[in-house]
Amino acid sequence: MKKVTCTAPVNIAVIKYWGKRNEELILPINSSLSVTLHQDQLKTTTTVAANRDFPEDRIWLNGKEDNINHPRLQSCLREIRRLARKRRSSGDDNISKILNYKVHICSVNNFPTAAGLASSAAGYACLVYSLARLYGVEGELSEIARQGSGSACRSMYGGFVQWIMGEREDGKDSLAQQVEPENHWPELRILILVASAEKKHVGSTAGMQTSVKTSPLLKHRAESVVPGRMEEMIEAIKKKDFEAFGQLTMKDSNQFHATCLDTYPPIFYLNQVSQRIIGLVHRYNAYYGTTKIAYSFDAGPNAVIFTLDPTVNEFVEIVKRSFPPESNGDPYLKGLAVSPVSLSQDLLSAVETDVFPGGVSYVIVTQPGPGPMESQDISVDLLGTDGFPNA
C-alpha cells in the first residue's frame, strides 16, 4: 500500500468570484484574488492510500463515508490520473502499478463545515495535492483543483493569489497564480467573526447560477468593474498599501452582495449581525480618519476582518464589547494571541451602539499562510495500516 497525508489551507477572496461561463469545467466570468489563511488555524487534512486489494475507490469526509461518484470528485480523480499517466517517468514501475489500484480517501477539517468558511476550497485543494503526491506528479495543479470547486484553485498557493479567468474554451488558461508569498506583509492579520455556525441557505454553486441568469449588475461587474479592480488590488498588495487594499476589499464584498440582491429571486447572505459589523468598521475608520479595518463576507453571514498588527488588539476588544459572549464555556478568542488593551472613552462613544450579546459566537485570529504541504508526521494519518479510517 502507498499512503500520503497532506494539508491544505482556506482562502478568502478580496476580489470575489461569482458566476461561471462553463459549469462543468468551472470557468469563471471574472478573475478573482484571495488571501490564503494560515493552516495553524484553519486547514483540511487528507490521507490517500492506493492498494492492490481495494475493490473500489472510496471516500470518507469528517468521519462519514461519502459518495465517491459525485461528478466534481470524479473530475478531480480522472484528471489527476490522466496527468500522472502522461507525466509518469518512463520506467517508474511503482507509479505505473499504483495507477491501476483503487484509492481510499479520508479527509477532515479542523473547523465547522458549511459554516461559510470555504471548506470546499480547502477540501478540493487538499484532495488534488494529496493525489498528486501519491502519484508523484508535480507542477501546475490549480487547473485540476478548479474542477472540484472554483475557489479551490486559489488554495493551491500560499500568500496572495489570483485566479486568472482565462479565455480558452477548454479552460487550460484558467489558472491560479501567486501574486506575493505569505511572508510578504507580516503585519497583516485576519479575523473570522463567526456569526453563525449553521449551514448556509443557498449554496454558492446554485446561487451564482441564478445570478448569472438574472442579474444585469453581475454582468456589468464582471465586464467593467473587476478588470480594473484586479490591477488596483495587485498594486495595493505589492505596495502594502492598507488604505487601498482595505477600501477595495470592502467595496468588492459590497458589490458581490449587491449582485445577490439584484439576483431574481434575491439572495441574502448578510444578516443583522453582519450589518452591525459593517457599521462598526465604518465608525471605527471614521474615528481615525483612515482605513484601519476592512471587512469581507462570502456566501454566509460570517465576517472576515482584515487589519494590521497592532490595530488588531483594539478591534478585538471592541468586537468583544459589542457582541459579548454568551458563556457556554467555549473560548471566545481562538488562534493567534492578542494583547488586551484599554479603550479610550472617546473611541468608545464614537463606535459603540447597542450591545448584541451572542451575535458573534467566536473569533478566529489568523494571518496569511503557506499553500498545501505533505505531512511527514505519520501520527496524523487518517487511514490505518489496513487502509480504512482510524477510529
Q: Which residues of this protein are in contact with ligand DP6, per CB under 6 A?
A: 13, 16-18, 26, 32, 118, 120, 149-151, 204-205, 298-299
Q: Which CB atom, from 51 or from 214, has the smaller least distance to ligand DP6? A: 214
Query: Which grid coordinates are listed for 149?
Result: 470547486
Residue appearing with cell numbers 478531480: 76
Nearer to ligand DP6, 151 or 249 (CB): 151
Least separation in angstroms between CB 204 and ligand DP6: 4
Q: Is there a contact between 113 and 66 (Cβ–Cβ < 8 Å)? A: no
Cβ neighbour number for residue 333 with a 10 Å cutoff: 16
State which residue, 27 or 98, has the beta carbon closest to ligand DP6.
27
| Contacts of range 384-389, beta carbons closer than 8 Å, 24 or more positions apart | 385/1, 387/1, 387/3, 387/49, 387/51, 387/53, 387/54, 387/104, 388/104, 389/60, 389/63, 389/106
Please compute, for residue 290, the number of CA atoms within 13 A of its CA located in the half-sphere on the CB side: 9
Q: Which is nearer to ligand DP6, 32 or 46 (CB)?
A: 32
- Of 32 and 291, CB closest to ligand DP6: 32
Taking the least distance from each CB to ligand DP6, the nearer of 26 and 77 is 26
CB-CB contact of 248 with 231 (8 Å): no
- What is the DSSP track for 84-116? HHHHPPTT-HHHHHHHTSEEEEEEEESS-TTSS
In this structure, what are the phi and psi dihedrals at residue 162, rounded to the nearest 5 degrees? -105, 145
Least Cβ distance, residue 3 to ligand DP6 (angstroms): 28
From the CB of 166, what's the least distance to ligand DP6, in Å? 14
The Cα 105–Cα 59 span in angstroms is 5
Question: In the bound complex, what is the minimum distance in angstroms from residue 280's beta carbon to ligand DP6?
Answer: 22
Q: How far is the CB of 73 from ligand DP6 (least distance, A)?
A: 12
Under 8 Å between Cβ of 45 and 108 = yes
The least distance separating ligand DP6 from the CB of residue 281, rounded to whole angstroms, comes to 19
Measured from each CB, the residue nearest to ligand DP6 is 150
Task: Name 78's Cβ contacts closer than 8 Å, sequence gap at least 6.
Answer: none
Q: Name the one residue in this structure whose C-alpha cell is 491501476.
A: 100
Comparison of 122 and 383: residue with beta carbon closer to ligand DP6 = 122
Instruction: Tell me the closest approach of the beta carbon of residue 384 to ligand DP6, in angstroms.
Output: 31
In one-letter notation, the amino acid at residue 142 is S
Q: At 62, give phi and psi (nearest 5°).
A: 45, 45
Name the minimum Å distance from CB 116 to ligand DP6. 8
Cβ proximity to ligand DP6, 17 vs 157, nearer residue: 17
User: Which C-beta is closer to ligand DP6: that of 44 or that of 151?
Assistant: 151
Smallest gap from Cβ 205 to ligand DP6, in A, equals: 4
Please provide residue 4's backbone torsions phi and psi, each rounded to the nearest 5 degrees.
Answer: -140, 140
Residue with cell 480522472: 78
